[in-house]
């Protein structure tokens, strides 16, 4: 679509003023000067522009699929495949309305010589769901900026950002966990982390014999590795309405981030050989006592069930009153005394802290994993942040292990630090934070 | 940022309307270059550039008045109205063609306004209303200062007559009035000082009660001292020697009215007033105001600032320049700001009726100023190429300035568009240069051929009008 823009009415007025002043002053210079604005007017009127048909556009979205809260880089490149210079190209990418641009700009202005390329790079924060990008719009102007041609382009490459809770999570059957720089050590006495050596006993595997020590001292010894302790864990997802808040427009809600943390935790625990169950607090379901509950179990199918239930909890948006205190108490009843409870909550109010205290009074092992969704750029947000950290400290003072998942810290690192220590604890030291 | 800090901020301006530094750099270079060239042509290189500083300060004032913080608003007031007034006076007092000087003043104002992005009607209207308010407050401060000076003078005369009085009755009356005034000042300071707030929380009730009793006692004593003093004035109207008849009264009154007693008394009174003033000012400054009250307080503070500017800036300068005439000074100080505010009012109306485009008001003002300056340059008989360059400069200023502002309106301030702006700017400057060369060549041909017929000029004008009507911009 091409249209002409009026830019030079002031120049016509200037020409008239100068002409009249020239006559008034009887000045030839002014009369001649009156022609100068008309040169510009003619320049603006006569310069034209064609539609940008020779513009090739490609878009990349990296990474996709992405977990909620993950910054995603979108790059739009435009190449002038024609033979004429595009003197004034303005390019605007069609960012989905629900996504927030947090870095860079989806717009660009450039002058493109033939075969030259310009790139628009910006960052959005992923939110759970699938988001289609609208076609980018290109606008070309003539050299005098008097004519404008606008068109929608069809980019090659990615057209969609997919954000899933189980993004980045490897399949359960693969060897190795998703903790950085370490392989699994899922059998007692076997693994890679050295613990100690002991006297060789008949039947010990040959690959566990300390051959170097045998060469030095002539005595057979068996290497002991640190052992993983298999246990039963129930992940408690705090999905109450109170937590359906975000740090800013276009950001994932606290429930979305908690759900992502829950899925990653479930995956990590299952791959470490634990039995994992799930309880969702904040919604009414058909489980025991109205609780959304999955019994602890193991295996790929079980993980799929857990993930689907967490997804369902995020989508659940029914405004019905739920007695969260009762549900938290019910979790402890259902889980049993030997089961560890892992609460995933943003700790935006006191109820989860009271639940942790109650579980502590019942003698349950507890871990609190808290995603940080509080904005630190406002006074109110800072106050909320102080209150949240105070709640974390209160949880810790009751003997619970706490994991503060700050924004910008990969969840894998936080989980590695917390869960690995938990699994390896030989003595039952209570409490601790990460 | 190649052209120095800017007054607008992304948080204040948003993505839309933020000026582009490359385009506006070209605009500024064009305007300043033409001003310097014109200065050389008239034999005074700094002929017009001095206007730039004042125009920039006045525009900075408008931009700061658009902010929310109290301090920024006060500084905005102190820059805006004095700057605009001074710019008007400079234009009126600078020798030379008024079109030339006024045109360049407008061009510099327009350039500064484009940089600060303040040429829209909301900003100008806000500056106008706040400027009027601060002007009224300035008048209030002026009258208040006159009254304070008069009171001080009377007080000084009273003290002087008290200390120097020969009759004990007159001295005693003076002493009583001085005592009453000092007690009143201490009473005032007790109201203003945060005595209760600074005392321990547990003792506040007791301190509050004691303070109330102290205030009542001070009020009573002050009233009694002043009342007795005023009543005793009757004795001065009679021939009665009054106090002189009381044994021992004369040496007592002499002792009380000596400098050693009156001096410390006055010091106590002055200190009390000073501390009360500081306490009130501190309270006002540290309060949280809503938008409207912030504007009022800023205007009030700026009114006092104007007084300081006039007393320590304008009066010594006027005296030093040997143009000191109280009537002229008062007329200049009181009437010139009204003229400046009226000019701003016209600017608001011009933007409102779309005489200037709202989005590109700065470049439009700068271009109009240069066209005016071209007419003035021709009237002064400056070289024709300079006149042509000034006209072409006006078009370059409009083209580059409006292009840059439109660019930000469309793309926001984040993308790097320097190459795009330079590409457009080079074309604009090239066409302007070609037009100037062509016009100069035609002018030279006309001069050498001894042209200048009225018929040819009329034909040229008619041709211009026809071409303008056909192209219509």
* CB B429, CB B26: distance < 8 Å: yes
CB A92 within 8 A of CB A78: no
Q: Which of A280, A282, A279 is nearest to A318 (CA)?
A: A282
Measure the CA angle with vertex B350, ends B347 and B351; round to 5°. 90
> B376, B389, B408, B464: which to substitute to probe chain A, counting the most A Cβ within 10 Å?
B464
Please list every residue in chain B whose beta carbon sits closer than 8 Å to the beta carbon of residue A43.
Answer: 431
Q: What is the pLDDT of residue A356?
A: 93
User: Nearest 5°: phi and psi at A17?
Assistant: -60, -45
Of A15, A88, A109, the CB nearest to B464: A15
Looking up tokens 């002026």 gives: B142
Count of other CB atoms within 10 angstroms of residue B452: 11
| Chain A interface disruption, residue of B435, B442, B471, most A CBs within 10 A | B471
pLDDT, position B464: 66
What is the 3-class SS of chain A, one letter each residue?
Answer: CEEECCCCHHHHHHHHHHHHHHHHHCCHHHHHHCHHHHHHHHHHHHCCCCCCCCEEEEEEEECCCECCCCEEEEEEEEEECCCCCEEEEEEEEECCCCCCEEEECCEEEEEECCCCEEEEEEEEECCCEEEECEEEEEEEECCCCCEEEEEECCCEECCEEEECCCCCCCCCCCCCCCCCCCCCCCCCCCCCCEEEEEECCCCCCHHHECHHHHHHHCCCEEEEECCCCCCEEEEEEECCHHHCCECCCCCCEHHHHHHHHHHHHHHHHHHCCCEEEEEEECCCCCCHHHCEEEEEECCHHHHHHHHHHHHHHHHCCCCCCCCHHHHHHHHHHHHCCCCEEEEECCCCCCHHHHHHHHHHHCCCCEEEEEECCCCCCCHHHHHHHHHHHHHHHHHHHCCCEEEEECCCCCHHHHHHHHHHHHHHCCCCCCCEEC
Domain range summary for chain B, segments of one domain joined by +: 10-135+293-305+322-471, 139-291
Nearest CA in chain A to B360: A7
Q: How far apart are CA B26 and CA B421, in angstroms?
A: 10
Q: What is the pLDDT of residues A381-391, one digit of tens each?
A: 888 889 999 99
CB contact, 8 Å: A88 with chain B?
Answer: yes
Contacts of B388 in chain A (CB under 8 A): 29, 32-33, 36
Pairing assessment for the beta strands A107-112 and A86-94 based on DSSP bridges: antiparallel
Q: What is the pTM of this model?
A: 0.70
User: With contact defined as beta carbons under 8 Å apart, do B435 and A36 qualify?
Assistant: yes
Q: How far is CA A81 from the centre of its chain?
A: 36
In angstroms, rounded to a whole number, what is the distance separating the alpha carbons of residues A177 and A63?
21
Are B392 and A36 a contacting pair at CB < 8 A? yes
Cβ within 8 Å of residue B245, ≥6 positions away: none
pLDDT at B321: 63
Nearest CB neighbour to B465, from listed A6, A19, A26: A19
Q: Are B380 and B374 in contact (CB under 8 A)?
A: no
Integer Cα distance of B117 and B365 in angstroms:
13
Using a CB-CB distance cutoff of 8 angstroms, which residues of chain B are in contact with residue A35?
435, 439, 460, 464
Is there a contact between A278 and A294 (Cβ–Cβ < 8 Å)?
A: yes
pLDDT in the model for residue B220: 93
B368 to chain A: closest CA residue? A14
Q: Which of B434, B446, B471 lies closest to A38 in CB terms?
A: B471
The whole-number mean pLDDT for each consecutive block of 10 residues of chain B, a chain of 473 residues, reads: 41 45 90 92 80 91 87 90 89 86 93 86 90 93 90 82 73 85 91 88 90 93 89 69 65 79 87 91 79 85 86 72 67 84 89 79 92 93 93 94 86 83 92 93 78 61 66 55
Could you give the CA distance from residue A300 to residue A294 in angstroms, rounded to a whole number? 14
**Interchain CB distance below 8 Å, B457 and A31:** yes
Q: Which residue of B has its CA nearest to A33?
A: B388
Instruction: Find all residues with CB under 8 Å of A414, minimum gap 6, and list them.
Output: A369, A403, A404, A405, A434
Contacts of A137 in chain B (CB under 8 A): none
**B461 contacts on A by Cβ (under 8 Å):** 19-20, 22-23, 31, 34
Q: Residue B39 CA to chain centroid, in angstroms?
A: 28
- Are B375 and A38 within 8 A, CB to CB? no
Which chain B residues are closer than 8 Å to A28 by Cβ?
Answer: 443, 446, 451-452, 457
Positions in chain A whose pLDDT score sits under 50: 170-188, 425-432
Cβ–Cβ under 8 Å, residues B393 and B370: yes
* A176 touches B: beta carbon within 8 Å: no
**Angle at alpha carbon of residue A75, lines to A72 and A78, rounded to 5°:** 165
Q: What is the pLDDT of residue B237?
A: 62
Q: Among A29, A36, A90, select the one facing B411 at the smallest CB separation.
A: A90
Q: Which residue of B has its CA nearest to A37?
A: B395
DSSP state letter for B359: T
- Which residues of B, range 362-381, sit inside 8 Å of A by Cβ? 364, 367-368, 371, 374-375, 378-379
Question: Within a 13 Å sphere around the CA of B83, how many CA atoms are in the beta-carbon half?
Answer: 26
B275 to chain A, minimum CA–CA distance in Å? 34
Cβ atoms within 10 A of the Cβ of B343, count? 15
Write down the pLDDT at residue A182.
Answer: 33
Inter-chain touch A25–B395, beta carbons under 8 Å:
no
């Amino acid at each position: 679509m091409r249209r002409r823009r009026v830019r030079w009415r002031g120049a016509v007025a200037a020409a008239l003023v100068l002409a009249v002043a020239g006559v008034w002053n009887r000045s030839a210079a002014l009369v001649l000067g009156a022609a100068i604005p008309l040169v510009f007017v003619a320049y603006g009127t006569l310069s034209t522009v064609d539609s940008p048909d020779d513009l090739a556009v490609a878009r990349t979205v990296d990474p996709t699929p992405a977990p909620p809260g993950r910054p995603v880089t979108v790059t739009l490149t435009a190449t002038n495949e024609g033979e004429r210079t595009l003197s004034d190209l303005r390019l605007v990418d069609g960012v989905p309305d629900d996504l927030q641009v947090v870095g860079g700009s989806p717009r660009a202005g450039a002058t493109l010589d033939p075969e030259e390329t310009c790139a628009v790079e910006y960052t959005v924060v992923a939110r759970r769901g699938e988001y289609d990008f609208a076609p980018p719009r290109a606008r070309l102007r003539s050299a005098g900026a008097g004519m404008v041609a606008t068109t929608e382009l069809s980019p090659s490459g990615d057209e969609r950002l997919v954000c899933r809770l189980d993004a980045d999570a490897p399949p359960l059957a693969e060897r190795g966990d998703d903790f950085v720089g370490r392989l699994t050590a899922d059998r007692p006495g076997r693994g890679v982390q050295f613990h100690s050596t002991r006297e060789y006993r008949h039947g010990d595997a040959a690959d566990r014999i300390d051959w170097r020590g045998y060469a030095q001292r002539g005595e057979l010894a068996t290497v002991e590795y640190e052992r993983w302790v298999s246990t039963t864990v129930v992940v408690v997802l705090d999905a109450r309405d109170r937590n359906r808040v975000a740090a800013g427009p276009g950001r994932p809600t606290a429930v979305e981030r908690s759900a992502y943390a829950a899925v990653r935790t479930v995956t990590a625990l299952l791959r470490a050989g634990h039995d994992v169950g799930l309880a969702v607090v904040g919604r009414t379901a058909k489980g025991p006592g109205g609780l959304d509950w999955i019994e602890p179990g193991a295996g790929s199918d079980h993980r799929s069930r857990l993930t689907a239930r967490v997804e369902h909890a995020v989508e659940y948006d029914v405004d019905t009153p739920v007695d969260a205190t009762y549900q938290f108490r019910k979790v402890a009843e259902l889980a049993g005394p030997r089961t560890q409870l892992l609460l995933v909550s943003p700790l935006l109010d006191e109820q989860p802290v009271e639940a942790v205290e109650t579980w502590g009074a019942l003698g349950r092992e507890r871990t609190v994993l808290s995603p940080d969704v509080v904005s630190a750029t406002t006074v109110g947000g800072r106050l909320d942040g102080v209150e949240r950290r105070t709640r974390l400290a209160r949880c810790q003072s009751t003997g619970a292990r706490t994991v503060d998942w700050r924004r910008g810290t990969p969840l894998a690192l936080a989980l590695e630090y917390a869960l690995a220590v938990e699994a390896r604890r030989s003595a039952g030291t209570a409490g601790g934070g990460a | 940022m190649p052209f120095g800090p800017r007054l607008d901020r992304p948080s204040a301006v948003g993505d839309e309307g933020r000026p582009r530094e490359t385009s506006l750099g070209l605009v500024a270079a064009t305007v300043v270059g033409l001003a310097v060239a014109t200065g050389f042509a008239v034999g005074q290189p700094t002929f017009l550039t001095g206007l730039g500083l004042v125009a920039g300060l006045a525009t900075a004032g408008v931009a700061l008045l658009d902010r929310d913080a109290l301090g920024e608003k006060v500084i905005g007031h102190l820059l805006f109205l004095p700057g605009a007034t001074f710019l008007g006076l400079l234009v009126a007092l600078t020798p030379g063609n008024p079109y030339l000087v006024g045109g360049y003043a407008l061009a510099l104002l327009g350039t500064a306004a484009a940089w600060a992005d303040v040429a829209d009607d909301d900003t100008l209207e806000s500056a106008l209303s706040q400027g009027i308010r601060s002007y009224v407050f300035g008048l209030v401060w002026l009258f208040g200062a006159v009254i304070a000076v008069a009171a001080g003078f009377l007080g000084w005369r009273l003290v002087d007559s008290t200390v120097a009085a020969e009759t004990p009755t007159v001295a005693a009356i003076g002493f009583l009035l001085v005592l009453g005034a000092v007690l009143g000042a201490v009473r005032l300071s007790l109201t203003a000082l945060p005595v209760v707030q600074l005392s321990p929380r547990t003792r506040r009730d007791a301190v509050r009660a004691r303070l109330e009793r102290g205030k009542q006692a001070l009020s009573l004593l002050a009233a009694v001292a002043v009342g007795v003093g005023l009543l005793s004035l009757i004795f001065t109207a009679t021939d009665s020697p009054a106090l002189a008849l009381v044994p021992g009264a004369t040496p007592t009154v002499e002792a009380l009215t000596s400098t050693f007693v009156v001096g410390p008394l006055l010091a106590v009174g002055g200190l009390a007033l000073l501390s009360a003033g500081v306490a009130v000012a501190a309270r006002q400054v540290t309060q949280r105001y809503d938008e409207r009250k912030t504007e009022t307080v800023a205007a009030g503070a700026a009114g006092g600032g104007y007084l300081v500017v006039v007393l320590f800036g304008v009066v010594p300068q006027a005296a030093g320049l040997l143009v000191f005439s109280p009537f002229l000074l008062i007329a200049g100080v009181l009437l010139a700001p009204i003229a400046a505010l009226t000019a701003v009012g016209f600017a608001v109306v011009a933007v409102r009726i779309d005489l200037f485009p709202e989005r590109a008001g700065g470049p439009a003002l700068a271009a109009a100023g240069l066209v005016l300056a071209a007419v003035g340059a021709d009237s002064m008989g400056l070289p024709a190429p300079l006149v042509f360059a000034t006209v072409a400069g006006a078009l370059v200023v409009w083209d580059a300035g409006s292009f840059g502002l439109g660019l930000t309106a469309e793309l926001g301030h984040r993308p790097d568009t320097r190459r795009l702006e330079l590409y457009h700017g080079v074309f604009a400057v090239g066409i302007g240069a070609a037009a100037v060369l062509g016009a100069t060549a035609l002018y030279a041909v006309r001069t050498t051929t001894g042209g200048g017929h009225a018929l040819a000029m009329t034909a040229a004008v008619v041709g211009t009008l026809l071409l303008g009507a056909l192209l219509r911009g």
